[in-house]
Structure 1
């Protein structure tokens, strides 16, 4: 069922938009990773799920699972719910377990949509926390898109980011934010063609 939904999503996206995919060769075949795209629109998660040739899990807002059709589709994609309010430790533990078991996971580091062209939101430390605890690297992804009929949508996969030097010992919240700000977000900004990121 999942493969059928993904194939259908690819067909629909190619009808609606002019989709370009770059950097597929950068997806590692010998190590696990956390997929970290920038976030422009609600169209982004299906785009990543449908066009990256990787069997992944996804973290999605719990409220989306209550939306008719949408909830069914994202569940078919392999998403699991995360409560927006507060720290959802059960979801965090599940995400870490999935990564440790060798299955890639997708999370949007900005934690929200940023619709302004050329601007990324401030990266939250959640992605860095998951990656360091599970001892996996980042697979940065940049999305540039005009989500209108026959608008150009480009998804670019960057090179794997090894963070093994950060996975030994306990990192403070400041350390995780520094890893996000200095290592992860600049690479995503480059792939997304964004000149700035932050608040």
Structure 2
């Protein structure tokens, strides 16, 4: 699904403004598949989902922490761009079902498998298993995305889009799936 004219206009203007503030380099756009897929990216900044929304031309439906939907001015904006709430810290069956529906409807799902922003000195945090449940239920490809750089004025930000990963064997352990995804993201960051 594409963004409507109004949202697409906002995306274009926002991208121009961000490029005036940061040096943004995007690599690997040729790796973006045509069929429905799951974007899995690392999460260090509030800017991460914005970058993904601006880079991908098709609408990305993000799982976003439910607390964001309680902020009166932010909730309508993130809903318009396709975000839906997930309760962190416990299994949110409703959010998992919604994520599966997004993929089965032919759309793109965006997930930060770390489950929260990484505020440590580690390159990447351990991933949560929810993404593996969605992968097994849908058979969707996973598109790893590594975001690196400094979120300061005139800082360099690099977004590297990796090659899609397919998990054809449904008997693979969920942790194995998550570890494979996280390792791919980490390699994209460190290259």
Global fold match (TM > 0.5): yes
CA distance in 2 between counterparts of 1:71 and 1:15 reads 26
Aligned-residue RMSD, C-alpha? 1.7
4+ residue runs of structure 1 moved beyond 3 angstroms? 115-118
Give the SS at the match of 1:179.
helix
Q: Aligned to 1:73, which of 77, 91, 113?
A: 77
Task: For residue 137 of structure 1, report the CA deviation from its aligned partner.
Answer: 1.4
Task: For residue 52 of structure 1, report the CA deviation from its aligned partner.
Answer: 1.9
Q: Aligned to 1:144, which of 145, 148, 151?
A: 148
For 1:113, the equivalent position in structure 2 comes to: 117
| Change in CA separation of 1:68 and 1:145 when aligned onto 2, cut-off 3 Å | farther
Task: Using structure 2 for the length normalisation, give the TM-score.
Answer: 0.90
For 2:189, the equivalent position in structure 1 comes to: 192
Is 1:84 the counterpart of 2:88 in the alignment?
yes
Task: For residue 115 of structure 1, report the CA deviation from its aligned partner.
Answer: 3.2
| Change in CA separation of 1:86 and 1:101 when aligned onto 2, cut-off 3 Å | same
For 1:131, the equivalent position in structure 2 comes to: 135
Q: Aligned to 1:18, which of 20, 23, 39?
A: 23
Measured against aligned partners, the alpha-carbon deviations of 1:139-163 in whole angstroms (never above 9, x if no partner) come to 0000002001011111110001011
Measured against aligned partners, the alpha-carbon deviations of 1:5-49 in whole angstroms (never above 9, x if no partner) come to 3223212211221111110000012x2211000111111111111
CA distance in 2 between counterparts of 1:88 and 1:66 reads 17
Contact 2:59 2:81 in 1 (8 A): no
Matches within 5 A, 1:95-110: 95-110=99-114
Alignment gaps of 5+ in structure 1: 195-199
User: How many residues matched?
Assistant: 186
CA distance in 1 between counterparts of 2:50 and 2:149 reads 13
Alignment gaps of 5+ in structure 2: 1-5
Task: Using structure 1 for the length normalisation, give the TM-score.
Answer: 0.87
